[in-house]
Amino acid sequence: MAVSPISAAVSLAQFIPSIARWLAGEKAEEVAENVLDIAKRITGIEDSTDIIQLLREQPEVVIEFQKAILNLEAEMELSTMRDRQDARLRDMAFIKAGKSNLRADIMVISAAGGLISCLVSLAYYSDFLPGEAVGIISTVAGIFGSCLKDAYAFEFGSSRESKMKDTTMAALFEREL
């Protein structure tokens, strides 16, 4: 019986826990296939159950697998940085051309308006709303707040904790060019 790439990758996450985090993203299937391909290449085994058994028995193979996964992670980070850099360059081109990025402006204004609407609703109508409605409105407010946080992170850069990662990835990106 064939195991799906995602199931196999989840099983491989016992050796590298960050794999599980990657599988929660929007490219889970692609990442799972990459992880499984790396495991197959390193072990020379096609069956995911046999791969896991070999990794349990041979720590030196686990180390080789971990190194390969670190390279995959670096590639994924570089890809994300390229996407973000391209988007920032596009915004700078708009500004230099004397235009505004109307789509981005509408997104930020909509998120701010949605958050304010939710907070006003909670402030004035929470006594009249059932608890379930208050919970739903609070959740929606959190989503709008997260959208604003992402917009600010894009516009002004990332947090201090990830500054070091961004600097390292930028150096890798420059070295690759």
Over range 6-10, report the average pLDDT: 80
- The answer to whether the beta carbons of residues 17 and 27 sit under 8 Å apart is no
pLDDT band (50, 70, 90) for residue 73: confident
Backbone angles phi, psi at 44, to 5 degrees: 75, 15
Longest dimension (CA), the chain: 64
By C-alpha distance, which of 89, 41, 88 is closest to 67? 41
For residue 86, name the pLDDT band (cuts at 50, 70, 90): confident
Distances in Å between the alpha carbon of 8 and those of 12, 32, 45, 53? 6, 8, 13, 12
pLDDT(2) > 70: no
Contacts of 76 (CB under 8 A, 6+ apart): 22, 31
- Ramachandran class of 157: left when φ > 0, alpha when ψ lies in -120 to 50, beta otherwise: left
Contact 151, 59 (CB under 8 A): no
Round the average pLDDT of the chain to a whole number and report it: 80
Q: Where are the domains of the chain?
A: 5-79, 100-176
Q: What is the mean pLDDT of residues 69-91?
A: 76
pLDDT at 111 over 90: yes
Name the pTM for this structure.
0.49
Of 11, 19, 14, 8, the closest CA to residue 46 belongs to: 8
Share of the chain above pLDDT 70, in %: 85
Q: What is the mean pLDDT of residues 122-133?
A: 90
pLDDT tens figures, 11-28: 788 887 777 777 776 777
Q: Nearest CA to 62 among 54, 70, 74? A: 54
Contact criterion met (CB below 8 Å) for 32 and 82: no
One-letter amino acid at 134 equals: V
